[in-house]
Amino acid sequence: MTTTPPNTYPTAPTSPITARPRWTGAEWVKFRDQRRPRQLLGVTLILGVVSGVLLVLTIPATRGVPLLETSTEDVLSASVLGVDAAAAVLVVLAAWFAGVEFRTGAITEVLLRARGRSGIVAAKAVIIAETAAITTVVTAVAVTFSGSLLAGTVAGADWPEVLGVAGSPDHLRLAFGSTLLPIIFSVLAVFGAVVFRSVTGGVLTPLALLIGSMFAGWLPDGFASVVRPLLPLGAVHNISGVAEAGGTEYIGALPALVVLVAWVVGGAVLATWRLRGQDF
């Protein structure tokens, strides 16, 4: 009588093949462990505050009105523009983070481990969006604080008035609504870097949208009222309250939010499609 010997051949592990990579965690490690992101985030905050202070101090030259005659609302509104200046650094950071792997060729190893490409794009966008959100909210608080100090000292406003304006719904909407500009444009920079497979493409994507908003403002009112609200800058202006009712940018906060979501979703789809065609 013969018996069949037990199968002593080891079975191949399936987990490395079937396990889905944790792309967000991997991208966070890459972002966290490099020195350049930390440096650029520090520059973002400093540039935002310095720009806000300079914009307030130059009101007499730019508007022809002495600071002592400038309203507290105008002083704080000028300081919030420092958030827009911070957006420039965050766009460069986002483009570098998403595009440097194409320049060095490190993206090849990532693609070889990936079954699908959407997770890679989404992870890069999530890391940049979260980082930009935290940085810009801190910047918005910092420029509001510095603007309040300037309003109460250089501009000679009463402190109760300064505190009332700084905590008013209109200013809070302006300050925190403006944070959407660096967040959205940073995410679009990620998509641009993937689509064009370069850091330069990531930087030029949001820049082209800004230039498009500028040219749209020169169009006749009928065309401008159609084009401007559909661009990211116009949508942010609606949410932050900058767009005035009856103006060519105005469509309201809720439709503007839909426009921003459409830009993000469309950019993600395009970037994923381009990455699926990436050769090793």
Q: Which residues contact 239 (CB under 8 A, 6 or more apart)?
A: 177, 180, 253, 256, 257, 260
Average pLDDT over residues 33-61: 91
Residues 63-105: tens digit of each pLDDT: 888 988 899 999 999 999 999 999 999 999 999 999 888 887 7
In a domain, 22, yes or no: no
In a domain, 9, yes or no: no
Average pLDDT over residues 198-220: 94
The reported pTM is 0.87
**How many domains in the chain?**
1
In a domain, 25, yes or no: no
CB 110 within 8 A of CB 100: no
Residues 154-206: tens digit of each pLDDT: 988 999 999 999 999 999 999 999 999 999 999 999 999 999 999 999 999 99
CB 261 within 8 A of CB 183: no
In a domain, 28, yes or no: no
Q: Which domain holds residue 115?
A: 34-277
In a domain, 17, yes or no: no
Q: Residue 264 pLDDT more than 90?
A: yes
In a domain, 21, yes or no: no
